[in-house]
Amino acid sequence: MGLLAVATIMAGCGSEPPQPVKVDAKVDAAARLKAAKDAKIRNAAKVKANELGQIPVLMFHRVIPSPQTTDDRTPKQFRADLERLAKEGYVPVTAAEMVTGKIDIPAGKYPVVLTFDDSSPSQLTLNAVGVPQKDTAVAIMKEVAAKYPGWRPKATFFVTRDLFGKTTTEEQAQALLWLKDNGFEIANHTRDHLNLRSISQAQVEEQIGSIGKTIEQLTYTKPVTIALPYGAQPKKKDWALNGKGYKHKGAFLAGYTPAPAPFSKSFDAAGVPRIKVMEKKGDCAQFCSEAWLDWLKKNPDMRYTSDGDPKTVAYPKFKQPYLRKSFSAMSLPY
Ligand SMILES: [Zn+2]
């Protein structure tokens, strides 16, 4: 197969002899593929794509007018937290999208994962027709998305049996289904919020499996990720990922650094670091969100930057040794 004789083209005036053109179909297809790949490489280089870079996974708790601990944010602070991210070119993805490598954001943008722990009513309260109450986390996420084109209300809610303060099965279903229908991820934070480090394997599996089952019964979807209460891993860290009735793709910690990209060898699905959201004060002078976002801004070569194509993993060639082997078929070094 291969050589195609293409019809000769007659020049109108007859001043030149007709030239027979021969094209090898396979060579032609290969050349087109190479041209397409070269274009992708040029685009990746143009936006300085680095899909082996670090991703901030931010950890929120309550959003309340009068904070009681440094884990709480006021609605005003939370709005400012999101606006900073939107202005600096971050685009939210869920924890599940991150750990499974489905990071679909525009070229030149940076992924951020917004996570909410403990399923408090300050995160999600709906009125009788399903409209979020003013100043709840979901209401503020929607407001900011309306104000900043390109920003989107996307986040992961790590829930316990508190289920946003809802006690009847119907109300619990309304809350969780609203999250699901609005593109948010509902994930596992164990039933009773115990320290998993100090309990047996059977107890760990009961704590994780039971709330997982509740979520599945209410939403027809199994959680893909888990956040460990207090960031404490069980005696064997794999118990958080795999157990009776559950299989998680990522277990999230409670500190203190940006997370490695899922395509990087440094990524550990059983312990994905998160960053507490807080100004540079006291213990947070170096290891909370304001400090890390400043650091990522000053060190753009360390930050995950998308090439805009979720089917490729683009990065400067020099970083090649850090690519996880399982992603080599998608790799696009430049
Ligand atoms: Zn918690």
Token reading at 156: 């992961």
Å from CA of 158 to ligand 1 middle: 8
Contact in structure between 72 and 123 (CB atoms under 8 Å): no
CA distance 266 to 274: 15
Token reading at 299: 């060190």
**What residues pair up with 24 in beta bridges, in sequence order?**
3
Å from CA of 230 to ligand 1 middle: 6
Percent of the chain with pLDDT over 90: 91
Residue identified by tokens 């760990």 is: 204
Å from CA of 193 to ligand 1 middle: 6
CA–centroid distance for 129 within its chain: 30
Q: Give the mean pLDDT of the chain.
A: 94
Nearest to 49 by CA among 313, 226, 263: 313
Token reading at 272: 């994905």
**Is residue 22 predicted with pLDDT exceeding 90?**
no
For residue 283, what pLDDT is reported? 87
Å from CA of 194 to ligand 1 middle: 9
For residue 7, what pLDDT is reported? 42
For residue 26, what pLDDT is reported? 82
Å from CA of 129 to ligand 1 middle: 29
**Is residue 129 predicted with pLDDT exceeding 80?**
yes
Nearest to 182 by CA among 148, 137, 224: 137
Q: List, for residues 197-226, the tens digit of each pLDDT value.
A: 999 999 999 999 999 999 999 999 999 999
The DSSP element (H or E) to which 186 belongs, if any, is strand 185-188
Mean pLDDT for 71-79 is 98
For residue 3, what pLDDT is reported? 43
Q: Is 194 helix (H, G, I), strand (E, B) or coil?
A: coil
Dihedral in degrees, nearest 10, Cα atoms 106, 112, 118, 120: -60
**Is residue 18 predicted with pLDDT exceeding 70?**
no
For residue 65, what pLDDT is reported? 97
| Higher pLDDT among residues 12 and 114, named by residue | 114
Å from CA of 305 to ligand 1 middle: 29
Q: Which residues surround ligand 1, an ion (CB under 5 A)?
A: 117-118, 229
Q: List, for residues 60-69, the tens digit of each pLDDT value.
A: 999 999 999 9
CA distance 233 to 251: 9
Nearest to 229 by CA among 263, 181, 172, 190: 190
Mean pLDDT for 178-198 is 98
Q: List, for residues 270-327, the tens digit of each pLDDT value.
A: 999 999 999 999 989 999 999 999 999 999 999 999 999 999 999 999 999 999 999 9
Å from CA of 159 to ligand 1 middle: 8
For residue 24, what pLDDT is reported? 75
